[in-house]
Structure 1
Amino acid sequence: MTDSRSSHTPRLVSKLEVSTDLGTFLGDTRIRLLEAIDQYGSISQAAKHVPLSYKAAWDAVDAMNNLADQPLVERSTGGKHGGGTALTEHGRKVIALYRAVEAEYQAALDRLMSQWSDMDSGNVRSFQQLLRRMAMRTTARNQFVCTVSGLREGEVDYEVFLRLDNHNELVAVITRDSAEQLGITIGTEVVALVKASAVLLMTDASLRTSARNHLWGTVQRVVDGPVNAEVTLDLGAGKTVTAVVTRESVVSLGVEIGQRACAVFKSSSVILSILG
């Protein structure tokens, strides 16, 4: 008899992707396409099995063949059945290697989850949520996981108040349409994105600005460039914020490692995203 609890235990499932500088080379869909080509000897039948459109299947095959050091798939013409598509021996080796790595990857995830077996279901799901956050890709340098703590509705815009931690709160201004599409309500977890180029620095606490967001921290790192410098502030609790400012500004502010400084940015510079 199967333990009824096991059917409700969350499981991390691996999705392996092999990429090159030119883009994605192999992934689950492409591997399944290659396996179907080997089984059916026909690109049209393989495409239906995956499923993919006929054009998408050929585009994938062409991309793989272009990126591989040897062809993975060969087309044949003529013959009793009017030609077809065949997997090369190199293609079979690539599939075997991919599946072997995928199996090891999955085994590693299973071992990881077994270490968390004494945790309750809620904590495991929190861990999975953390992995989803880490998997998100964006060009914005600053990413903050926040909880919506307040909403102020205007005729056109929404002011969204975001609780970053026990000491810091952010404010974002988004359109009503955006708020409705995201389904933002009090308590919703969101990711606030702020480009480093939109962040200003100040060191004088007595200065007043029109910007709504002020994050005080300690200068952790300064990376100089020919024109601009990248300054990262440690906000505590493992959180940081990065600003890209001119080298002249760094000099005039006297920015140094360990110095107290404030990252300043407008509420309109905050982009909100919700993890699916």
Structure 2
Amino acid sequence: MTPTHPKLTGKLLIETSLGNFLGDKRIRLLEAIDQQGSISQAAKAVPMSYKAAWDAVDDMNNVAPQPLVHRSAGGLRGGGTELTAFGRRLIAFYRALEQESQLALEKLTHNLTQSGVADAADFQQVLRKMTMKTSARNQFAGPVTALKEGVVDVEVSIRLDPQLVLTAIVTRESAESLGLALGKDVLAFVKASSIVLVVEDDDKEVRISARNRFRGIVARIHAGPVNSEVTLDLPGGRHVLTAVITDDSVRRLGLAVGQPVVAVFKAPSVFLVAID
């Protein structure tokens, strides 16, 4: 019997201006949304939780140059979710690229086996260790539009949308290491726990030192035993921002879906990744 050799297989992860998180599971979610017309049904088909599906859609829409998913709320039919034309083109591109990448892996497996350089399983283990993930809930992408250099730090402005500019502060060493320059595309990450929500009072002027202040509308509140996750729709209709605050804060602020709030976070709490 001819001995069988390990076969290199992999999940395609696209690293473009869309970010480094567009992989097989999220593509399958987009395909299911296109088929089902419902994010709850699509989540069951993948499968993944309803909340995880919404989070994935928010993340993808946040960094894509065009929306991938369009959501309609309410109405006689109760609203729905549909894939955009751009979303369908992205799926087709991903599947074509996936097929080509698998052919390349099969060729590599054959060459390794013939040459006896190393076992394919050795490379699979290395690749798994090299996979990078981040715990930051909020991920955005955009070009650098301004750099303000100080003695120690650099203030970086990133345009997410015509109406949205995010500000980060990094050390000069980090700015040089990332190769930051005007027009360079970067990914910006903000932990949900770093975001403070403010409900404005018409009778009082709120003054806050934090550099980033985004006005939004409460889209969802996911309550937990201690903390709640509050997701905001930002101006422009494409980006969302998620904050984690205590359940007591939700009650004290009187937060509800459809309510306008201001999300505030400091520039040093934003960390950047350069897109080559």
Q: Name the TM-score, length of structure 1 as normaliser.
A: 0.55
Distance verdict in 2 for CA 1:30–1:140, change over 3 Å = same
* Paired AA for residue 170 in structure 2: I
Query: How big is the alpha-carbon RMSD for the aligned residues of Structure 1 and Structure 2?
Result: 3.0
Quote the residue 1:226 is aligned against. Answer: 225
1:210 and 2:209 aligned: yes
* Paired AA for residue 226 in structure 2: V
Which SS does the other structure have where 1:178 is aligned? helix
Residues 160-182 of structure 1 show CA distances to partners (whole Å, capped at 9, x for unaligned) of: 12222222222110011111122
Which SS does the other structure have where 1:140 is aligned? coil
Which SS does the other structure have where 2:176 is aligned? helix
Q: Distance in 1 between matches of 2:226 and 2:112?
A: 54
1:161 and 2:160 aligned: no
Whether the aligned pair in 2 keeps the contact of 1:192 and 1:272 (CA below 8 Å) is yes
* Paired AA for residue 59 in structure 1: D
Q: Distance in 1 between matches of 2:226 and 2:140?
A: 27
Q: Which has the larger radius of gyration?
A: 1
Whether the aligned pair in 1 keeps the contact of 2:168 and 2:271 (CA below 8 Å) is yes
Quote the residue 2:175 is aligned against. Answer: 179
1:144 and 2:144 aligned: no
Residues 84-137 of structure 1 show CA distances to partners (whole Å, capped at 9, x for unaligned) of: xxxxxxxxxxxxxxxxxxxxxxxxxxxxxxxxxxxxxxxxxxxxxxxxxxxx95
Q: Distance in 2 between matches of 1:154 and 1:137?
A: 31
Distance verdict in 2 for CA 1:28–1:246, change over 3 Å = farther
Identity rate of aligned residues, in percent?
43
Residues 140-187 of structure 1 show CA distances to partners (whole Å, capped at 9, x for unaligned) of: 211122222211111111011222222222211001111112221222
| Count of aligned residue pairs for this structure pair | 174
Whether the aligned pair in 2 keeps the contact of 1:33 and 1:46 (CA below 8 Å) is no
* Paired AA for residue 144 in structure 1: F
Whether the aligned pair in 1 keeps the contact of 2:170 and 2:268 (CA below 8 Å) is yes
Whether the aligned pair in 1 keeps the contact of 2:146 and 2:157 (CA below 8 Å) is yes
Quote the residue 2:251 is aligned against. Answer: 251
* Paired AA for residue 274 in structure 1: A
Whether the aligned pair in 2 keeps the contact of 1:232 and 1:240 (CA below 8 Å) is yes
Whether the aligned pair in 2 keeps the contact of 1:30 and 1:60 (CA below 8 Å) is no
Quote the residue 1:59 is aligned against. Answer: 122
Q: Name the TM-score, length of structure 2 as normaliser.
A: 0.55
Report deviation, 1:57: 3.9
